[in-house]
């Protein structure tokens, strides 16, 4: 075995058998941004046998302060491809697949089918809920993290643990982004490294297990917290799930909550253009039977609208995150 891993093989928790387990592990990483860069670098360096990178985005100059896999020469390149090239220079012993596509409800189950472990590094509420639902259905472990401003969390969900929905059954009413709220590269790096550590702990079957554990970090005060959610209960009743645009039928009522100024043309020709606040005030009534599909850019406003419709008696609801 290569001397490359000798310092971790010395650890009694790893050894030759543990290194063999890492080499036999396949990890699906959704997102090659700030979190994903740290995750990918450490999993590749540790000798995880196969990494599958899924990211549809391209490298921008504003990424470079927190995404150290990329160089100025990578600007404009697909992140998945640029990350793969950088990682193979670091460790050519790892098999790395790069998929330049967006994670959606339509492809989630296909993408995670061959993975032993799944990493949510997309930092998108819609992606997290889609992944959690798919991982729970496929009995796959999901290691998810999020960072915004000077705080973040990481947890190990699904598999033999409760899902993300069991811990966070409700989306926030508003959600910021790195572009809107800002983020320190060091904060993203720390949380991504914790994600990678959780993945290694799971692959090595370290005890006690990290499954069902959530860690929080306040980077302003440097306080670390967390809790076990191993006994959390899954939400009762039908889920308000994200679906793919192709899953919309002619019988559905589609509501696009984006304003015309934000999105002059909806991808659904028959979509009603009604804002979230109007739906929350119950100013428009809808028939009870058809499914109502609510869409917006990120899924957060659609969730708010769907929750309001549910409180007004509508049971058949679905969400679409349209993206950029």
Query: Domain segments of the chain: what residues?
Result: 3-228, 241-321
The pLDDT, as a whole number, for residue 175 is 61
Please indicate whether residue 135 is annotated as part of the active site.
no
In tens, the pLDDT along 160-211 reads: 999 999 999 988 766 655 556 678 899 999 999 999 999 999 999 999 999 9
Q: Decide if 3-228 and 241-321 have a common fold.
A: no
Q: How far apart are CA 121 and CA 123, in angstroms?
A: 6
The pLDDT, as a whole number, for residue 206 is 97
Which listed CATH number (3.30.465.10, 3.40.50.720, 1.10.10.350, 3.30.70.1400) goes with 3-228? Answer: 3.40.50.720
Structure tokens at 46: 């540790």
Q: How far is CA 321 from CA 103, 128, 221, 288, in A?
A: 11, 12, 34, 23
User: pTM here?
Assistant: 0.94
85: burial class by Cβ within 10 Å (0-12, 13-18, 19+)?
middle
Q: How far apart are CA 74 and CA 319, in angstroms?
A: 35
- Catalytic residue from among 37, 178, 295, 296: 178
In tens, the pLDDT along 89-121 reads: 999 999 999 999 999 999 999 999 999 999 999
Q: How far apart are CA 104 and CA 245, in angstroms?
A: 10
User: What is 241-321's CATH topology?
Assistant: Oxidized Rhodanese; domain 1 (3.40.250)
């Amino acid at each position: 075995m290569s001397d490359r891993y000798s310092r971790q093989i010395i650890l009694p928790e790893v050894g030759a058998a543990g290194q063999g387990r890492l080499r036999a592990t396949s990890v699906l990483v959704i997102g090659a941004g700030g979190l994903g860069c740290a995750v990918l670098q450490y999993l590749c360096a540790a000798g995880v046998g196969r990494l599958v990178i899924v990211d549809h985005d391209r490298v921008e100059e504003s990424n470079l302060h927190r995404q150290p896999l990329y160089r100025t020469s990578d600007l404009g390149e697909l992140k998945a491809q640029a990350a793969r090239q950088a990682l193979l220079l670091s460790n050519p012993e790892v098999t790395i697949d790069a998929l330049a596509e967006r994670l959606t409800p339509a492809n989630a189950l296909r993408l995670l089918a061959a993975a032993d472990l799944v990493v949510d590094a997309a930092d998108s509420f819609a992606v997290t809920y889609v992944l959690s639902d798919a991982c729970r259905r496929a009995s796959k472990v999901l290691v998810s993290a999020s960072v915004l401003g000077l705080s973040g969390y990481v947890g190990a969900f699904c598999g033999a643990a409760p899902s993300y929905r069991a811990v966070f059954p409700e989306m926030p009413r508003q959600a910021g982004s790195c572009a809107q709220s800002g983020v320190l590269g060091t904060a993203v790096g720390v949380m991504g490294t914790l994600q990678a550590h959780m993945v290694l702990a799971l692959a090595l079957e370290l005890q006690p297990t990290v499954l069902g554990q959530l860690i929080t970090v306040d980077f302003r005060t440097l306080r670390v917290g967390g809790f076990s959610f191993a006994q959390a209960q899954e939400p009762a009743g039908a889920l308000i799930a994200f679906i793919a645009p192709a899953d919309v039928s002619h019988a559905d009522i589609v509501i696009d909550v984006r304003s015309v100024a934000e999105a002059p043309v909806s991808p659904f020709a028959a979509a009603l253009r009604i804002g979230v606040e109007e739906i929350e005030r119950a100013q428009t009534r809808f028939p009870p039977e058809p499914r109502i599909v609510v869409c917006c850019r990120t899924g957060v406003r659609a969730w708010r609208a769907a929750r309001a419709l549910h409180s007004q008696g509508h049971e058949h609801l679905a969400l679409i995150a349209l993206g950029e």
